[in-house]
Amino acid sequence: MSDKTNADKHIAHTLENTKKSSLEKIETPMAHPDTNHSAAPTKQEENLIIPKGTTLITDRSFINLDWSKQDHQGLIFKNCTIINSNFAASNLDGLRLENCNVFNTSFEKASIQDGLFEDCSFYEKQNQQGCNFSLSDLRRTEFHRCNISMSNFKRANVFQITINDSRAQGCNFQFANFVHIVSRTALFSAAYLTKTDFRYSNFEGVYLQKCDLSESKFVAVIFTRANLEEANLTTTDFAPNEYDGLSIFKADLRNAEIRNIDVRKLDFSGVKIFEWQQAFFIENLGIITYPDKA
C-alpha cells in the first residue's frame, strides 16, 4: 500500500475521531442561538411547482423533493423547511434562503453562483447530518449567521465564497477550489471565512493564499498540504490537528491564539505576530529565557 494511501486513511481516521468527540456540542450559530427557530408549517409538500414569473416562496414545508437537473434561477425562500430533498445538478444561480431549515438535502454538482443564505440551518441535530454541496459551483455565494455543520463541500468550486458569523463544525472542504486561474502561470485565491467556528473541519489540500480567515476558530482541523501563505489569520484560535505540508509563509497571525503546533515542522518565515505571542515560539523551541539584569 502506498504512503499516500496510508496518509489519507490516517487523516480520515483522525477527523472521524475528533468529530465523534464533538458532535454533542454542535448547536446553532455562535452569536445567534435562535437561527433554527423558524416555525415550519404542519403540511409537508412533496412537489414544488414554480408558476411562470414567480420567484418568492414563503412559509412552506417540503419533503422528499426531487428537483434534480432543474433550471430555476433567482428563487427566494423565506421561512421555509426543506427535508430529504435532491437538488443535484440543478441550476439555482442567485438562490436566496432567509430563515430556512434545510436538512439532509443534496446540492451535489448544482450551480448556486451568487447565492445568499441568511439565518439558515443546514444541520439536523437529531441525526447529526449536514447537507451535500460536493462538486457544486458556489462561486461568490454567501453564508451569514448559518449553521452548516457536518456539510460536505469536497471539491466544490468556492472561489470568493463568504462564510461569516456562522457555525461550520465538522465540515469537509477537502480539495475545495478557492482559486481562479487566470493563465497557466497566474492564479489567485479569494475567500472570506470570518468569525466562524470551523472546529473539526477538513481543509486538506486547499489553497487559501491571501484569504481572510480572521476571528475564526480552527481547532482540531486538518490543514494537511494546505496553503495559507499571506492569509489573514488575525484573532483566530489556531490549533490544527493535522498540518503536514502546511505552508504558512508570511501569514498574519497577530493576536491569534496559537496552540498544538510544533513550530520546528513549519516555516514561519515572514509571519506577523505581536510581542506577547513570542512566548509560545520560544517555549516551543525549548529555549529558557531570563529577565535582563537591572
Strand ranges (E), 74-170: 76-78, 81-83, 96-98, 101-103, 116-118, 142-144, 161-164
CB–CB of 248/267 below 8 Å?
yes
pLDDT 10s per residue in the chain (294 long)?
555 455 455 545 555 555 555 554 555 444 444 444 444 455 899 999 998 889 999 999 999 999 999 999 999 999 999 999 999 999 999 999 999 999 999 999 999 999 999 999 999 999 999 999 999 999 999 999 999 999 999 999 999 999 999 999 999 999 999 999 888 778 889 999 999 999 999 999 999 999 999 999 999 999 999 999 999 999 999 999 999 999 999 999 999 999 999 999 999 999 999 999 998 998 888 888 788 875
What is the pTM assigned to this prediction? 0.86
Closest to 138 in 3D by CA, of 120, 118, 163: 163
Q: Which long-range contacts (CB under 8 A, 24 or more apart) does 10-14 make?
A: 11/202, 11/204, 11/222, 11/224, 11/242, 14/222, 14/241, 14/242
Which cell numbers hold the place of 144?
451569514
- Tracing cell 452569536 back to the chain, one arrives at 31
Q: Return phi, psi of residue 15, to 5°.
A: -65, -40
